[in-house]
Chain A
Amino acid sequence: MNPEFPQNTGCCEKPDEPAQAITIAPKPIVEKHQPEEVCCGSPPGPASLEFEKPGYALLDFVEGFVETPVGSVPRVKTAFKWPDYTGTIKVRLGINRDQFKIAPGLYCVGTPDSKAPVLVTANYKLTFDVLRKELASLNAWILVLDTRGINVWCAAGKDLFSTAEVVRRVNLSELKKVVVHNQLILPQLAATGVAAHHVKKESGFKVIWGPVRAKDIRSFLTNGLKAEKSMRQVTFTTRDRVVLIPVELAHLPKPSLWILVTAFLISGIGTHVFSFPAAWARGIMLTIAYVTGILAGAVAVPVLLPWIPGRSFALKGAILGILGGAGIVVLFQSNVRVFGALALMLCTTAISSYLAMNFTGSTPFTSPSGVEKEMRKAIPMQAVALLLAIVAWVGSAFAG
């Protein structure tokens, strides 16, 4: 995922491997004579590629095929092209996120032979893209599992990137006929779902635990399959946290609609039973308090996570919520009095605390025991704060 990672470290000279029985498919472009005169319309596009098949579409990231004893294996590009970027941006925004997957099976990069390493990965396209991007000028097989389009760690947690799936895919792809060794390199984060000793027993293949991040795979391969300590530990950089924000926000529009309808309705309640001008004027203020709660809990908390005091996420969210709420009160100081100010502040704090608590699911360091512990304390407090906010808000309309 790190774009700064050097693509060319000069470590990829072809190792001294004897020529193997595997033949490489000829270059895809078929030379064809081009008509010199254009009779109608613009000149024709390029001729069909040699490996195009009737009824099949060639995927953007495939650049050719390598012939193996088990048939042709797609060779994938290691350079990112425009469709890869647009696909990544879309999925980060939560568009079509559940369908962003590729067909499981055997792929390769470069010109691997029967001694080339086998890298095992998930079939979430973002995961696959991050991996192949790091493999420029390397020769390797890539065994893609069917993890239902879910990334390595989450799929391992759901038992999709599992011992059974590794064994199944090794057998289905007839890997034993493609390589002469018996090693599989798995991403370390798959260890939650894969028991290495069981894979060995059931498939004959030995699992080598690769680094956590794809960006370290090159040094892992060139350092004799050794990972440094830093390659074995997860990190959660500012960039890692920022890219998660759009997806956090993408879940909000639906519940927000109901929340805002309610906000405008309760804003209209007052001495005249219900007043539309009041619903509008006071509803806007409540909406701004709600949006501030979202910005504090789902945007500011992820970005500022390591610097906000406290261990509990609900507390971190509450702290930023109070700050945001104070800002709202200053903004509306001429429009609200004590009860109204209290209501706006409680609303922002409760929303921010709740959303920050939900961010636990996106981090790589929160334990379920810990999350449950903080939720048992925080949810009642958030509920009470929200209830008090409603009471104070409606009350403030009568206190006039």
Chain B
Amino acid sequence: METFRYLPGVTTLRLDEKDCTGCGICEIVCPHGVFLLHNKKARIHDIDGCMECGACAKNCPTEAIGVSPGVGCAAYIIQTWIKGKNAAACDGVECC
């Protein structure tokens, strides 16, 4: 989504190209067009477009992709600071 850009240089996304089989599922599931298939290998084409949703890593059959997934929601993150990661919930906050 080129019209909306968030903070650059923060994503935890990484791709281990030697484990990539070139199946292309990451290119399909990424909602921000972060990956592009090039010479039968996935490549990170737009790393700052990544919102760490985790769809690519979840669907990569060889676990060549890693990302620390989560929701980019301030109200939720405040809860994780106060209550800890496990007790935090979106109840009553406006994220989702």
Q: Which residues of B contact A371 (CB under 8 A)?
A: 72-74, 77
Identify which of residues 256-305 in chain A touch chain B, using a CB-to-CB cut-off of 8 Å.
305
Given contacts A193-B58, A244-B94, 11 further A-B contacts (CB under 8 A): A154-B71, A157-B53, A194-B58, A233-B33, A358-B73, A358-B94, A361-B94, A362-B94, A364-B1, A365-B51, A375-B77
- Is B55 a contact partner of A369 (Cβ separation < 8 A)? no
Q: Which of A196, A236, A362, A364 contacts B59 (CB 8 A)?
A: A196
Considering the chains assembled together, what is the distance between the CA atoms of A195 and B76 in angstroms?
Answer: 25
Interface status of A367 (Cβ within 8 A of chain B):
yes
Given contacts A153-B96, A361-B74, contact A367 B1 (CB under 8 A): no
Q: Which of A358, A369, A375 contacts B12 (CB 8 A)?
A: A369
Looking across the interface, which residue of chain B has its beta carbon closest to that of A155?
Answer: B96
Considering the chains assembled together, what is the distance between the CA atoms of A151 and B77 in angstroms?
Answer: 20
Q: Which residues of A contact B25 (CB under 8 A)?
A: 196
| B contacts, CB < 8 Å to A | 1, 3-8, 10-12, 25, 28-33, 49-56, 58-59, 61, 68-78, 90, 92-96
Q: Which residues of B contact A188 (CB under 8 A)?
A: 28-29, 31, 55
Considering the chains assembled together, what is the distance between the CA atoms of A366 and B77 in angstroms?
Answer: 13
Q: Closest CB-CB distance, B52 to chain A, in whole Å?
A: 4
Looking across the interface, which residue of chain A has its beta carbon closest to that of B78?
Answer: A375
Residue contacts A-B, CB under 8 angstroms, 10 given:
A191-B58, A195-B59, A196-B59, A306-B3, A311-B8, A360-B74, A362-B94, A365-B32, A367-B51, A370-B72
Q: Closest CB-CB distance, B64 to chain A, in whole Å?
A: 13
Q: Closest CB-CB distance, B82 to chain A, in whole Å?
A: 12
Q: Closest CB-CB distance, A217 to chain B, in whole Å?
A: 16
Q: Which of B7, B51, B68, B95 contacts A362 (CB 8 A)?
A: B95
Q: Which residues of B contact A191 (CB under 8 A)?
A: 29, 55-56, 58-59
Give a binary string over A334-377; 1 marks a CB under 8 Å from any B CB, 0 the rest: 00000000000000000000000111111111111111111100
Measured as residues with beta carbon below 8 angstroms from the partner, the interface class of chain A is: 35 or more
Q: Which residues of B contact A360 (CB under 8 A)?
A: 72-74
- Is A192 a contact partner of B58 (Cβ separation < 8 A)? yes
- Is A251 a contact partner of B92 (Cβ separation < 8 A)? yes
Q: Closest CB-CB distance, A205 to chain B, in whole Å?
A: 15
Q: Which residues of A contact B7 (CB under 8 A)?
A: 311-312, 367, 370, 373-374
Q: Closest CB-CB distance, A280 to chain B, in whole Å?
A: 32
Interface status of A177 (Cβ within 8 A of chain B):
no
Considering the chains assembled together, what is the distance between the CA atoms of A354 and B4 in angstroms?
Answer: 20
Considering the chains assembled together, what is the distance between the CA atoms of A366 and B95 in angstroms?
Answer: 12
Interface status of A229 (Cβ within 8 A of chain B):
yes
- Is B3 a contact partner of A370 (Cβ separation < 8 A)? no
Interface status of A189 (Cβ within 8 A of chain B):
yes
Those 5 A-B pairs whose CB atoms lie nearest each other, nearest first: A361-B73, A361-B95, A154-B96, A366-B72, A368-B70
